[in-house]
Amino acid sequence: MSMTTILQHCLTGISLGGAYALIAIGYTLVYGILRLINFAHGDIFMMAGYFMIFSLASFPWPVAIVITLVVTTAMGIVIERMAYKPLRSSPRMSIMISAIGVSYLLQNLSTYLFTAIPRGYPEIPILKRIFQMGELSASFVTILTPVLTIILVVILMVLVNRTKTGMAMRAVSKDFETAKLMGININRVISVTFAIGSFLAGVGSILYFTDRMSVTPFSGTLPGLKCFVAAVFGGIGNIPGAVVGGFFIGIVETLLVALGYSTFSDAFTFFLLIVMLLVRPTGLFGEKTVEKV
């Protein structure tokens, strides 16, 4: 395999990793605040694909993108209010079971509404424009994805570390009950967290499906699980860790396909999960927690 081919596949892997990173941040944010694995997150990402298909059928692409992101964000907030908020004082297992129920509900609802036949993802001309860099060629979306991912992560880190909302989010993640006693509006913080996670899933959806060209009701299942693994790999609850995990899985998966091991590209992700849980359960950047007696 020539160096040009390797670089070409690395470029594709970095682009895929950027989309994974955006989705993984949603898992890590919700876990950091609620200690909940939101298994419906991959299906919110899938629904964003359908929102884009129907929006672009009626509106110009800039308006369709805005509609898709707004509806996806609103959907995340509504799911939290209806499926998770009533169970907040219940055992953690109850909320997790509810998350699995929401995931299957979204899959079956989309199957009923849109059928299981793959729907073609609309082409946004500016994203599909091809650029030539020496012997390398890449579409604009391939170049845009990692750049946009880094920009959004920097903005998110500033929000978390430099704003009152971010301070409230960090307080709630450290001690839920104490934050409530200190007068922090818990419901608002959690809604903001789900809104950010769903917004990033919507952005990731546009970048991901632009290259894959079709959406089915089950399009979010495998990417969602891979992004969960990315969050665990980086240290679930840690935003930079989720980004590193997303890029790592995207690059390795693409290289395995390039080397002819496409059969094992998905298996590698879950093998990585098992190894990480055995060797370093808190992930690369996760903090060790000390249980107080």
Whole-model pTM: value is 0.91
pLDDT in tens, 166-223: 899 999 888 888 888 888 899 899 999 999 999 999 999 999 998 888 899 999 999 9
Whether residue 11 lies inside any domain: the answer is yes
Whether residue 266 lies inside any domain: the answer is yes
| Residue entry with tokens 């992930």 | 283
**Which CATH number goes with the domain that contains 248?**
1.10.3470
Whether residue 85 lies inside any domain: the answer is yes
Whether residue 285 lies inside any domain: the answer is no
Q: How far from 9 is each of 3, 12, 255, CA to CA, in Å?
A: 10, 5, 6
Whether residue 175 lies inside any domain: the answer is yes
Q: Is 72 helix (H, G, I), strand (E, B) or coil?
A: helix
pLDDT number for residue 32 = 85
Look up the domain containing 141 and give its range. 3-279
Whether residue 203 lies inside any domain: the answer is yes
Q: Is the pLDDT of residue 292 over 50?
A: no
Q: How far from 46 is each of 1, 43, 106, 274, CA to CA, in Å?
A: 35, 5, 9, 26
pLDDT band of residue 287 (cuts 50, 70, 90) is low
Whether residue 287 lies inside any domain: the answer is no
Whether residue 293 lies inside any domain: the answer is no
3-state helix, strand, coil in the chain (%, to 5): 75, 5, 20
The domain tally of the chain equals: 1
